[in-house]
Structure 1
Amino acid sequence: VTDAGLGVDGMTRAIRSAAPQWIIGQTPGLSLARIGNLPGKRLSVKTMDPVARRILGLSGSIYGFASTYAGQQYRPTAEQPDPNPTDDAAILFTSGSTGPAKGVRYTHQKLSALTQRLQHTLHVEPGSSLLAGFAPFALLGPAIGATSVTPNMSVTKPATLTAKSLAQAAIAGDTTMIFASPAALRNVVDTAHELNTEQRTALEQISMLLSAGAPVPVPLMNEVLELVPNAEFHSPYGMTESLLISDIDHHTQHAIAGRDDRGVCVGKPLDVARVAMAPLDFLGRSSDELFEGDIAVNKLAEIVISTPHMLAGYDKLYNTNRQTRVDSVDGLQWHRTGDIGHFDEHGRLWIEGRTQHIVTPSTGAFGPGGPEDDIQRLPSINRVAIVGVGPVGTQAIVAVVEPHDGQIKPGLAPSALTDDVRAATDIDIAAVLVTHRVPVDIRHNSKINRPLLAEWAEKVLAGGKVTAL
């Protein structure tokens, strides 16, 4: 499973590496497959006219197959037997926001465990309907036994979701659950004034709302809950490699709002998930030893997981498999996530960034999530990224901000803005730079490209030309 958020190069690499038997898509993706001579027979979703079928080299359409085989029941044959639990069931590609997109293998056994976990977590029952403002969950809806509805939006650009589109989809699908990214919910709130009475009433029927892919600020939660007042708001933590690891609801978010922990709290691990910590050393390197329980509390570490519904491995990425599967505690399969954070004394997990985003000043390694959260609270700031510039172990800490005021020129921030940013956090910020756009990924519209910003910041601080990002 891939999406347009990977771009042409990413899509091409993903399809060539997976070597599928069939490619199912819309016209842009099918055109790429034809032009690039990508492996797999091509199927459109809707039945196209003969000219389009010939140009795109189609073998048929999903609608056509549905009509041809309507009423027939699947039966295994000698040529097409039932799959074994250990056979591959799906290859899901990561967003590519922290490097080239990786193919994540799920066997039938793993995928079955995932759907069961989703059913349990989402309280799926007869009549449940999932409104998916996030592409992967549009596919998972039918798998968990829920009607799946996708609003009128670009699923690869979550921030295009409007309140009216959300409400109309909720009406059409008699929706009980919504899954959307924080960027999508931000735009829903911003366009809520366009809703009519019928649409507002439809949103009041929602019983559960989930948002993931990036931290969900408490103020945004509050604004969304004004539109869906009868919903339980959950923000699960997971990734393509294991969609559900921990979960937190809005009640807990409010209860911990006064804590001074670094990063974003994602709640306690699920009952089927084991989460261990590989502490970071002074230079930000993960330990070979894993810590769990009380000895893991308040240690900045790489997060290591073991769940029944996690990936079986990466597809054809043998070095990546070796690097992420180095642990064997209790004979279990473990996965090094690349995320960093800490446990608090109540067993709640806090996310502080990624291993490749660790900043290493002379005072010791830290994750960017904490100070970014501090600065993000400033009313003048739309987005912020903390990056390290210089040699590992002696890096200067730089804040790159995207202010709401678009009239501020890119480059070194004005002194007043610099003072505000420095006063907002307790780390020693060497410089504050302004950009008109902090670059984020396409799939979530929220994951910041910090390596690109670090490279840009280094050039600007060295006296180079202030270029657009």
Structure 2
Amino acid sequence: MLDLGRTFLQAVERSPNALAIVDGPVEMTYQRWYREIGKAVSGLRRLGLERGDRLVVVLQNRWEMATLHWACQFAGIVIVPVNWRSKAEELDHNVTDAGAKAVVYEPVSAEAVAGSHAAQSKTRIGLDGVEGASIGFEEWLGLPGGEAQANATPAAGPDDYSVMLYTSGTTGLGKGVPRRQRHERAAALAHVAQNLYRHGERTLGVMPLYHTMGVRSLLAMALVDGLFVCVRRWNAALALESIAKYELTCLYLVPTLYHDLLAAAEFRDTDVRSVTKLGFAGAPMNDGLLKRCSEAFKPQLFVNHYGSSEVYTVSIEQDAAGRPGSAGRAGLNTRLRVVKLDSVCPDDVAARGEEGQIIAELAGDEAFEGYWNRPDANAKSLRDGWYFTGDTGYLDEHGDLYVTGRVDDMIISGGENISPVDIESILSLHPAVDEVAVVGLKDERWGQKVVAFIKRSRYVDAAALDEYCRASDLVNFKRPREYVFVDAIPKSPVGKILRRKLSAGEYELEAGSSARASLGG
């Protein structure tokens, strides 16, 4: 298999004058971008970074971030992209755990870098004149010798590590997921195939490059000589402007961002006809939003991608709108199973229709080999050649996968296992419900009671929503026993619902006396 440096060279050789990356006023062809990548490769060498070393990067989605990603692939250096919203203690953990040699950052992440003892002990490359840097990015990139190395030669192979992503940790300290170049290339190739990308596709580079979805978009565009339009910080109006200006053809977003696009006042006046392929991942898309996206974009292809940082593609559903809730079947490079909820054995398979834990075989071309410095996490999640995802779901009678949530999110009420996703999908179809999240809160009688948190698009009360659920096919014991009307549903930076915040009471009630209502049985 080719390494990633040679993968980028393919695009340069095939389409040197094709527009490759856009970041505001910065527009670069593949040939021009290759020269900037070459300068970055030379700069990393001057810092003393060698093949296998780790570079922590705390940047938004900007051309410098994407350039460093590719430079590391050429040099065989492991890029460790970190959430630019990280606090000092989180960054301290990442830098120390990764054993990083240097840190790249910008003003938006300066406070965390300044407060991190580990970051302060490393060489710090700063962008936009940020204070506290050892050297400025522009100066570093333009130092003598950079031009001589502008035509970078790949120094890595497919078995070199490419990237280490940090997953969210329940203790606040994430687990490092190192992935080799062959894993990353296989995942990108599968992404191209499963989303039916053609030569010259154009995408919105909005999913953060510290997240597997963002990395996949970046790599996939190089495979098809496509365009990556950077979005540094999410803004629906600016995203719509980019779609129209650059005639973007494919979107790969979390459901929350699709919701924001459709809710933007500018959507009605924006020409989005160039977009023919929609894809989503990171969280289930409820039935109401699926319907709205289909009507608004009229896509030729609408893909539900289910996966993780550890095993990029677990399953794919290429008719998301036609099969609401379905995550489809195993991806090109994956085998999957659903095992019983309390099982630790990959052969303890759940029956069709029985909810269990989703697992994926580690022999797949996209699968990682284990967590960085975390034998405890490996012991918990890697068993007999299979990765236990911690996600719940079931296979229907046709063998299609339905993802119902996280093992930790399962509501146990009166001895019954209740998935929040089922309830959310039904409530999302009510015309007065803008967004919904369901959690289980402590209850003396039932152990947990089902509570629905609702962001309203117009007035509706708890009684009307309860009647709506009673008239649906939702079984009675799954009905919410309480409704809480909130200003916003708390979400992570990549749009995942933060149920733990709702359970902990970390939300703002909608103004008004009827913001909370309990119901009888």
Tell me the TM-score normalized by structure 2.
0.69
Q: 2:107 aligns with which of 27, 31, 34?
A: 27
Which AA in structure 2 matches 1:102?
K
Q: Which moved more, 1:230-239 or 1:88-97?
A: 88-97
Q: Assess, with a 3 A threshold, how the Cα gap between structure 1 residues 95 and 287 changes in structure 2: closer, same or farther.
A: closer
1:103-182 equivalence runs, <5 A: 103-136=176-209, 137-144=213-220, 145=222, 146-150=225-229, 152=231, 154-155=233-234, 160-162=235-237, 165-182=238-255
**Alpha-carbon deviations, 1:315-372, whole Å to 9, x = none?**
222211110002x2xxxx3211000010011111001110111222334323222223
Runs of 4+ that moved beyond 6 A: 405-408
Q: 1:191 aligns with which of 257, 264, 272?
A: 264
Structure 1 position 206 matched with structure 2 position 206:
no
- 1:453 is aligned to 502
Q: Assess, with a 3 A threshold, how the Cα gap between structure 1 residues 139 and 61 changes in structure 2: closer, same or farther.
A: farther
1:68-467 equivalence runs, <5 A: 69-70=146-147, 72-75=150-153, 82-83=155-156, 85-96=158-169, 100-136=173-209, 137-144=213-220, 145=222, 146-150=225-229, 152=231, 154-155=233-234, 160-162=235-237, 165-191=238-264, 193=266, 196=269, 199-200=270-271, 203-250=272-319, 253-254=321-322, 256=323, 264-280=325-341, 285-291=342-348, 296-306=351-361, 307-326=364-383, 328=384, 333-381=385-433, 382-389=435-442, 395-404=447-456, 420=468, 425-428=474-477, 429=479, 431-437=481-487, 439-449=489-499, 451-456=500-505
**Alpha-carbon deviations, 1:111-162, whole Å to 9, x = none?**
232222223334444423222221134444443314443455624xxxx323
- 1:261 is aligned to none
Contact persistence 1:384–1:438 (CA under 8 A) = no
Q: Which moved more, 1:135-144 or 1:207-216?
A: 135-144
Which AA in structure 1 matches 2:426?
D
Q: Assess, with a 3 A threshold, how the Cα gap between structure 1 residues 310 and 427 changes in structure 2: closer, same or farther.
A: farther
What is the alpha-carbon distance in structure 1 between the residues aligned to residue 143 and residue 287 of structure 2? Answer: 47
SS of the equivalent of 2:343 reads coil
Q: Assess, with a 3 A threshold, how the Cα gap between structure 1 residues 373 and 407 changes in structure 2: closer, same or farther.
A: closer
Aligned-pair CA distance for 1:430: 7.3
Contact persistence 2:440–2:503 (CA under 8 A) = yes
What is the alpha-carbon distance in structure 2 between the residues aligned to residue 67 and residue 171 of structure 1? Answer: 38
What is the alpha-carbon distance in structure 2 between the residues aligned to residue 438 and residue 31 of structure 1? Answer: 27
**Alpha-carbon deviations, 1:379-400, whole Å to 9, x = none?**
3433131315258x95232213
% of aligned pairs identical?
15
Residues matched between the structures, number: 413
What is the alpha-carbon distance in structure 2 between the residues aligned to residue 85 and residue 152 of structure 1? Answer: 29
Q: Assess, with a 3 A threshold, how the Cα gap between structure 1 residues 246 and 374 changes in structure 2: closer, same or farther.
A: same
What is the alpha-carbon distance in structure 1 between the residues aligned to residue 206 and residue 395 of structure 2? Answer: 30
SS of the equivalent of 1:154 reads coil
- 1:41 is aligned to 123
What is the alpha-carbon distance in structure 2 between the residues aligned to residue 446 and residue 318 of structure 1? Answer: 27
Which AA in structure 2 matches 1:161?
A
- 2:510 is aligned to none
SS of the equivalent of 2:302 reads strand
SS of the equivalent of 1:215 reads coil
What is the alpha-carbon distance in structure 1 between the residues aligned to residue 335 and residue 277 of structure 2? Answer: 25
- 2:74 is aligned to none
SS of the equivalent of 2:378 reads helix
**Alpha-carbon deviations, 1:10-44, whole Å to 9, x = none?**
34433332232232232122442133233342223
Which AA in structure 2 matches 1:313?
G
What is the alpha-carbon distance in structure 2 between the residues aligned to residue 177 and residue 128 of structure 1? Answer: 7
- Structure 1 stretches of 5 or more lacking a match? 77-81, 258-263, 458-465
Q: Assess, with a 3 A threshold, how the Cα gap between structure 1 residues 9 and 188 changes in structure 2: closer, same or farther.
A: same
Tell me the TM-score normalized by structure 1.
0.76
Q: Assess, with a 3 A threshold, how the Cα gap between structure 1 residues 253 and 93 changes in structure 2: closer, same or farther.
A: same
Q: Assess, with a 3 A threshold, how the Cα gap between structure 1 residues 171 and 151 changes in structure 2: closer, same or farther.
A: farther
What is the alpha-carbon distance in structure 1 between the residues aligned to residue 153 and residue 232 of structure 2? Answer: 37
Contact persistence 2:432–2:458 (CA under 8 A) = no
Q: Assess, with a 3 A threshold, how the Cα gap between structure 1 residues 188 and 407 changes in structure 2: closer, same or farther.
A: closer
Q: Assess, with a 3 A threshold, how the Cα gap between structure 1 residues 209 and 96 changes in structure 2: closer, same or farther.
A: farther
SS of the equivalent of 1:311 reads coil
Which AA in structure 2 matches 1:276?
R
SS of the equivalent of 1:443 reads coil
Contact persistence 1:107–1:312 (CA under 8 A) = no
Which AA in structure 2 matches 1:28?
V
Q: Assess, with a 3 A threshold, how the Cα gap between structure 1 residues 371 and 122 changes in structure 2: closer, same or farther.
A: closer
What is the alpha-carbon distance in structure 1 between the residues aligned to residue 139 and residue 244 of structure 2? Answer: 24
Contact persistence 2:440–2:450 (CA under 8 A) = yes
Aligned-pair CA distance for 1:186: 1.0
Which AA in structure 2 matches 1:274?
R
What is the alpha-carbon distance in structure 2 between the residues aligned to residue 193 and residue 32 of structure 1? Answer: 35
- Structure 2 stretches of 5 or more lacking a match? 1-80, 507-514, 517-521
Q: Which moved more, 1:348-357 or 1:372-381?
A: 372-381
Which AA in structure 2 matches 1:2?
V
What is the alpha-carbon distance in structure 1 between the residues aligned to residue 497 and residue 306 of structure 2? Answer: 14
Aligned-pair CA distance for 1:171: 4.6
Q: Assess, with a 3 A threshold, how the Cα gap between structure 1 residues 376 and 178 changes in structure 2: closer, same or farther.
A: closer
Contact persistence 1:210–1:234 (CA under 8 A) = yes
